[in-house]
Amino acid sequence: MNHQPDRTICAVYTRRLNTEKDQEDHSMYKALTTIAAGLAITAPAYAGNISAPVVEQPVAVAPAPVAPASPDWTGFYGGAQLGYGDVSSNGALNGDDVIGGISAGYDYDLGSWVLGGGLDYDFADINLGGGTNLENVFRAKLRAGYKVGNGLIYGTGGYAQADTNTTGSEDGYFVGAGYEHMVSQNISVGGEALYHEFENVGGTTTDVEAMTYQAKVNFRF
């Protein structure tokens, strides 16, 4: 029995299958090659579009402005004053000249307000006429003031005593106002105007009035 034709058919069929497989492998290779080439082209483009994350810098918030602290007026002080005195009366005693002296006292700071007390002693040589001279003025004072920044606006008043070379000591009172400014922790400067009144001077009906205007400087402890 001759099987030669069957072998020929099988060989032909086998070659056909191998040819079809080679064609399929070639097509798959081309597809894979195309995909790889596409990825190679598009990958750098995507890589170029990738940017580093933006880190927002913290915003510095400026602190709220702080009102400057006003100085503390509590404590003892001592100082000096110098200015002008003008004396007048309902009689013959009148005159004006330089007046100045020393002062000491204590203040207590209540926050916006300041209360205090003090003593002043002024030297003078004011010719009042008729051979009478005003020689000195002593004051025991109280004061109350309102703080304005580094300054103090205040009102004051109290007991006053005036000495002359003819009538001796005369008792009276005074009232006034002033401004004092703290220029450092221990030094203050200011000005003060005071009205004085003395009645029945020398046991007579003569009433004497006096105005003083003085610049002051104090050292605070």
For residue 135, give Cα distances in angstroms to 124, 128, 181.
5, 10, 30
Residue 220: which pLDDT band, with cuts at 50, 70 and 90? Answer: very high
| 121, pLDDT greater than 60 | yes
Task: Tell me the whole-structure pTM to 2 decimals.
Answer: 0.70
What is the SS3 string spanning the chain? CCCHHHHHHHHHHHHHHHHHHHHHHHHHHHHHHHHHHHHHHHHHHHHHCCCCCCCCCCCCCCCCCCCCCCCCCCEEEEEEEEEEEEEEECCCCCEEEEEEEEEEEEEEECCCEEEEEEEEEEEEEEEEECCEEEEEEEEEEEEEEEEECCEEEEEEEEEEEEEECCCEEEEEEEEEEEEEEECCCCEEEEEEEEEEEECCHHHCCCCEEEEEEEEEEEEEC
User: Among 36-45, 98-107, 157-166, 209-218, whose mean pLDDT is lowest?
Assistant: 36-45
Q: Is the pLDDT of residue 128 over 80?
A: yes
158-182 pLDDT, tens digit each: 999 999 999 889 999 999 999 999 9
Confidence of residue 202 (pLDDT cuts 50, 70, 90): confident
Q: What is the mean pLDDT of the chain?
A: 85
**Token output for 79:** 């100082």
**CATH number of the 75-220 domain:** 2.40.160.20
At 126, the pLDDT band (50, 70, 90 cuts) reads very high
